[in-house]
Structure 1
Amino acid sequence: MARYGMLLDLTACAGCMACTVGCQMQNELAPEIHFIKYYQQEYGTFPDVSLVNIPVQCQHCENPPCVYNCPTGASYIGDGGIVLIDEHRCIGCKYCMTSCPYNARVLDEETKTPVKCVFCFEQIHEGEQPMCVRTCIGDARIFGDLDDPEGELVRAINERHARPLRPDLGTKPKFFYVW
């Protein structure tokens, strides 16, 4: 069984939000719901200053606080290590939302339950790439199996010295960034 992960090369990300739009279309999300959030960070000292766009979404952690703090078991780790939500078991308590250090969950106002990125779970099991990867104009995203040492994802993580956000939190994210 694969252990899915993703790399996002921030040096190739144009900040165009094509991934966000593709994700919204794929998941039929309301305009106000975004599974991919953009943050900006300044680097350097004047006059040598640069700004980087940092898209952040569910990190599909191996040690996910959202799963461990869900009182009903609605948040769980599915096939391939993808963190999922069983909408039928969710009571809308939002413990998962407050537990996520990446602010990756969003409240669906219609259903009053949290929703989030699921790495396009159904599509990847049909052999397709997640929509955010398919729509990225800069080819900044790579999706694959973290247990395949010869795969494109693992090679890119090693060659580009990619690292997860906030490894100090102990969540063991399966989402890696190239700074």
Structure 2
Amino acid sequence: MSLTRREFLGCSALCAAAGLVGSGQADDAPVNPKNFALIHDETKCIGCRACEQACRKVNQVPEGVNRLKLNIDGPYHAEEQPYYTFTRESCQHCQDAPCISVCPTGAAFRDKATGIVDVDPFKCVGCQYCLAACPYRVRFINPVTKAADKCDFCRKTNLAQGKLPACVEACPTGALIFGDLNDRNSELVAVLRSARTVRDKLDLGTNPKLFRIPSQKPGVL
């Protein structure tokens, strides 16, 4: 599978995407850098946790820690029908990432070719400054490497092989849409143009690149 698989409608969503596109590029960045982002369509999510399992397997995530967690809340009752809501908890790949600015060794960085926020475990000294700075509380110390760890959109695994992130590949309902904000013909950009999306903690100015299409109908567990 290739990478071509493809808050609110109108100015808010489009301006948010436009603000992310082309921003934060260094002078020595690649000529055609990408700016990867992810949409979690909660209306399509069924809470199967296939995304969690695929992430753990592909990225060899040790037991006891998670790069990706699916939060399942409920049951709620609508018209006498119990239902659940499903929300993704993982790195937001912020355009203005506080974890990068506080890192004393340069271990936390943004990959110039992809826009992905990542960690170099060989530079990490385990000071945990980045864990404290992350407003989304999604970083952890890997018990094997002893370095800070988190979702990297499978940059060193699936993406390096020309595949989609493991969670996206594993999702049976197409609830996860991964793509390049700089590619205006991508499915991700098309969805941002047409759907009502939200992002968490926008008031903090981090410009997160994990978008959500909020649950509107009862989910299925």
Residue in structure 1 matched with residue 126 of structure 2 by the alignment: 92
Aligned partner (choices 31, 36, 54) of residue 22 of structure 1: 54
Deviation at 1:111, TM superposition (A): 2.7
How far off is 1:31 after superposition?
2.0
Distance 2:171 2:71 in 1: 17
2:93 corresponding residue in structure 1: 60
Q: Which residue of 2 aligns with 1:139?
A: 174
Supply the distance in 2 between the matched residues of 1:150 and 1:93 (Cα, whole angstroms): 41
> What is the distance in 1 between the residues matched to 2:125 and 2:210?
28
Does residue 31 (structure 1) correspond to residue 63 (structure 2)? The answer is yes
Q: Tell me the amino acid that sits aligned with residue 169 of structure 1.
A: L
Aligned with 1:12: secondary structure?
Answer: coil
Amino acid at match of 2:95: E
Bigger-Rg structure (1/2): 2
CA contact 1:13–1:138 (8 Å) conserved in 2: yes
For residue 126 of structure 1, report the CA deviation from its aligned partner.
3.2
The aligned amino acid for 1:70 is: C
Report the identity percentage.
35
Moved more, 7-16 or 102-111: 102-111
The answer to whether structure 1 residue 114 and structure 2 residue 173 are counterparts is no
Question: Residue 81 of structure 1 aligns with which residue?
Answer: 115
> What displacement does 1:143 show?
0.5
**Are 1:175 and 2:200 matched, yes or no?**
no
1:164 correspondence with 2:196: no
CA deviation profile, 1:116-168 (whole Å, cap 9, x unmatched): 11101132243210000000112100111011112100101221122222211
- Displacement of 1:25 in angstroms is 0.2
State the number of aligned residues: 179
Q: Residue 161 of structure 2: SS of its match in structure 1?
A: coil
1:103 & 1:51 partners in 2: Cα distance? Answer: 23
- Is the Cα–Cα contact under 8 Å of residues 62 and 143 in structure 2 kept in the other structure? no
Contact 1:157/1:163 (8 A) holds in 2 = no
In structure 2, the residue corresponding to 1:158 is in which secondary structure?
A: helix
Once the two structures are superposed, what CA deviation does each residue of 1:19-68 show, in whole Å capped at 9, x if it has no partner? 01000000111122211123345698887775311111111110001111
> Which runs of 5 or more structure 1 residues have no equivalent in the other structure?
none
Structure 1: distance between partners of 2:74 and 2:204: 23
> Which whole-Å CA distance do the structure 2 matches of 1:14 and 1:45 have between them?
17
Relative CO higher for 1 or 2, CA cutoff 8 Å, sep ≥ 6? 2
Q: What secondary structure is seen at the aligned counterpart in 1 of 2:88?
A: strand
